Structure 1
Amino acid sequence: MQASSVVQFWEIAQAHGLNICIDGGWAVDAVLGVQTRPHGDLDIALPASEVLALTSLLGERGFREVAQPDSWEHNFILQTDSGDTIDVHSYELHADGSNQDGVAYIEDHLNGEGHILGCRVRCVPPHWLVQFHTGYEVDETDWHDVRLLCERFGLTIPDAYERFTGTE
């Protein structure tokens, strides 16, 4: 998804009062303040109570749900005919910020800030982005993201990336 499309989505969502937090590759580039690689989609997190408003808003703009084998009420794909793709992750939090339901976000995951094409966005903070890039078979794209985050923010490279660092 192109940076201009991400910013356009962000501005529309903000104008409609949606509490969007950018996750995934665009969150990495947002905290870095520059696009470092192409992105096939935009990952977002939002409260489950706002999903209906989001799907209605995006439906008016040509987005439709694309069924996936792992889709469920708290994680699904919305896509346009032209290929703009938004991977929606929703959650419910307890008053103390812990996860109640949905995708396992906690309040601390949702309080970062970054910039896309100069537009200030809310996104997952760098240390959580690095943590989210573990717990599965990592690839070159993951390494690209994690290396840049760790270099910029002085974070420790997780053990899962040893094969890329040459320290095995």
Structure 2
Amino acid sequence: MFGPVEVLRVLETLREAGCAVWIGGGWGIDALVGRVTRKHGDLDLLHRAEQEPTVIAALRAVAYSEREGVVPGRPARFVMAGPEGRELDLHPLLFQPDGSAVQHLDDHGGVFTYPADAFTTGVIDGVVVPCLSVAQQVHFHRGYQPRERDLHDMARLREAYGVDTHF
């Protein structure tokens, strides 16, 4: 499991290497809420695609290695496994001059566009961290059958921000 100490260690490792990253997924929601609300099996990070070699090298230096056979895999994402079975789910983004970003989803031209205001900050263990915005998190939680953790996460955003969610 990923705890806040390991999340902050990974973020600091990447910051020291000069890499810009943003937290998504469950940890991103906990960052927005400002407290840990549930257990997390992985850490979703979005990074600048041009920094990917540096991201990988920095994470290898702290005992993470790329896991093969992840579906979906590149170009949309890749996974690095680390100590005690921890997993980092890494998403490369190509930033545009207006601050928006594009994530390639497949080799056939599929893309997802993040608006410039999708990138914000939250707090983990009293430390300000870069993460995805409330609106972006809500957007990602639409159009599928929610799991228990999805229901939990959206409830936390409703409580903290008074936003409407799909479920």
- The residue type paired with residue 90 of structure 1 is P
Q: Calculate percent identity across the aligned residue pairs.
A: 29
Superposition RMSD in Å: 1.5
In the alignment, does 2:48 pair up with 1:27?
no
Aligned to 1:166: none
Q: TM-score, normalised by structure 1?
A: 0.87
Aligned to 1:52: 53
- The residue type paired with residue 155 of structure 1 is V
- The residue type paired with residue 84 of structure 1 is R
Report deviation, 1:81.
4.4
Contact 1:48 1:102 in 2 (8 A): no
- The residue type paired with residue 93 of structure 1 is F
Structure 1's consecutive aligned runs of 4 or more residues displaced over 4 angstroms after TM superposition are none
In the alignment, does 2:50 pair up with 1:41?
no
Equivalent residues, number: 158
SS in 2 for 1:82: helix
Q: Distance in 1 between matches of 2:98 and 2:30?
A: 29
Contact 2:118 2:135 in 1 (8 A): no
Aligned to 1:155: 163
* Unaligned residue ranges in structure 1 (runs of 5+): 162-168
* Unaligned residue ranges in structure 2 (runs of 5+): 106-111
Distance 1:155 1:100, change over 3 A: closer
In the alignment, does 2:136 pair up with 1:134?
no
Structure 1 or 2: more strand by fraction: 2
Distance 1:101 1:89, change over 3 A: closer
SS in 1 for 2:47: strand
2:74 counterpart (72, 75, 83): 72
